[in-house]
Chains A and B, each alone.
Chain A
Amino acid sequence: MSAEVTSPTFPFLAGPPLDLPAEFELLRAEEPVARVTMPSGDRAWLVTRYQDVRTVFADPRFSRAAASVPTAPKLSPRFLLRADSILSKDPPDHTRLRKLVAGAFTARRIDHLRPRIQETTDRLLDGLEQVDPPADLVTHLALPLPVMVICELLGVPYCDRDRFRGWTEALLNIELPLADAYAAREALDDYLAELIADRRVHPSDDLLGVLTAARDEGGKLSEDELVSFGITLLIAGHETTANQIATFMLFLLRNPGQLRLLRESLDLIAPAVEELLRFTPLGVGSGLLRVATADVEIGGVTIRAGEAVIASITSANHDPAVFGDPDELDIARTDNPHLAFGPGIHHCLGAQLARAELQIAIASLLQRFPGLVLAVGEDELNWRPRLGLRGPSAVPVSW
């Protein structure tokens, strides 16, 4: 067994961002539940096989709430997710919060939003067409589309985008002083509190209005939960999708055969997006860290109460036990039970919305710009300096 396997640090960030870290294949084969050290210096168990990853996400003894107390092992000292965010809760608190907004994100509701998402995409692509190439895909489509959509859903003014985008960036950028991240979190708290105060004077039927009413009329959540919910929805609602639109295009441009196939048969867009979801190492390639609340055996290893567990979605999505030719991008793949949205109770609330945005953005872009190419070498791309939610800061393209 190599040295990398016996004392790895996680996340595996050494290689190019688009490449799958080689460590996963080795760990799945040799040490599927492995001890790793995180940037905080704390240790965790890294789970890499598909079935084990599913088990971790499904087992309530692997707790997000226990991972959110101050003394719990942390991925990074910069990890500033509030303990009152829905992402930091276990049932019954998680269930109580989730059902307040779940109805707004069902497949049926999102289907009704599709024409609006298409219209927004078309308008952005009209803008892109006006520009002399090369132009940046992130500025013109990947970022503004999900920002506009979540602003409308949540009721956050789009004209405030530079403010909340700046704070989000400061929260995630590992090259900035820690004090900047704390200041950004305070600023986001204050900003959301302002918007909520406005809802109390001017009630609205957007999600912030609905959540504010749920607090004021039904006492369904605390004031801190309300603010944190707003921030979580705002950031999760655009950061992930923005990075994915950009990264999906990079993967398609890297696989010209698959790109041609998709361009010629756009009815493959749904399976193509599922395959790109499976294929793309989003963030550090893991779900949020869990802490065991009891001794639990997994993959032959006993994880003790109080120890941290990272279940790697990226590794699971490339497990050859489940996916044939897992490292090949195959947009026509039919049996594709990928875990990109995380299985279990924290399954991405916005999964159906993300699917709609990704399908519409990619299909429309390929249709309108059939000659699209990367205007720089892949190795010249700049990537946002982050531990999680990684993505290129710009994708210059020509057509």
Chain B
Amino acid sequence: MNTTWDIRVDRSLCIGSGMCAASSPAHFELGEDHKSHPRADVVDPDDEVLDAALNCPVEAITVSDHATGTVIAPE
């Protein structure tokens, strides 16, 4: 079975820096309120998503293994 990842954006943490939406527009977009949300909650593994989670200034983005729930990024 192919691995897939869950992307979650904690909107209470998101400050709308727009870093994820600019660096990984395939996976994130900013809403009307300038807060980020993932375009799809479950995605195929992609380093761009990990970079977005690592570079988020408030660690609002969590990437985890869809099958096991293990957090992949940040950390």
Contact = CB atoms under 8 A, between A and B. Distances in A.
Interface string B4-26: 00000000010011110111010
B34 interface: yes
Nearest to B20: A345
B55 A343 contact: no
A133 interface: no
B23 A107 contact: no
A167 interface: no
A345 B48 CA distance: 13
B33 to A, nearest CB: 8
Contacts, number: 61
Interface in A335-350: 337, 341, 343-345, 347, 349
Contacts of A134: none
B18 A343 contact: yes
A341 B22 contact: no
Decide if the interface of chain B is mainly helix, strand, loop or mixed: loop
Given A95-B51, A99-B51, A337-B16, A58 B57 contact: no
Contacts of A345: 19, 22-23
B19 to A, nearest CB: 5
B22 A106 contact: no
A45 interface: no
Interface in B17-61: 17-19, 21-23, 25, 30, 34, 51, 54-59
A60 interface: yes
A349 B16 CA distance: 14
Contacts of B59: 106-108
A54 B57 CA distance: 18
A351 interface: yes
For A57, A344, A352, which residue has the most chain B Cβ atoms within 10 angstroms?
A344
A78 interface: no
Contacts of B13: 107
A337 B18 CA distance: 12
A57 B59 CA distance: 21
Size band of the interface chain A makes with B: 20 to 34
For A94, A344, A347, which residue has the most chain B Cβ atoms within 10 angstroms?
A347
A107 B57 contact: yes
Contacts of B19: 344-345, 347
A321 interface: no
A91 B24 CA distance: 10
B57 A347 contact: yes
Size band of the interface chain B makes with A: 10 to 19
Interface in A49-65: 54, 57-58, 60
A351 B58 CA distance: 10
B23 A91 contact: yes
For A54, A95, A108, which residue has the most chain B Cβ atoms within 10 angstroms?
A95
A102 interface: yes
A347 B54 contact: no
A352 B74 contact: no
Contacts of A337: 16, 34
Contacts of A103: 54, 74
A257 B69 CA distance: 52
A380 B74 CA distance: 50
B58 A107 contact: yes
B55 A102 contact: yes
A98 interface: yes
B58 to A, nearest CB: 5
Interface of A: 54, 57-58, 60, 91, 94-95, 98-99, 102-103, 105-108, 337, 341, 343-345, 347, 349, 351-352
Top-6 shortest CB links A-B: A343-B18, A347-B17, A344-B22, A345-B22, A107-B58, A99-B54
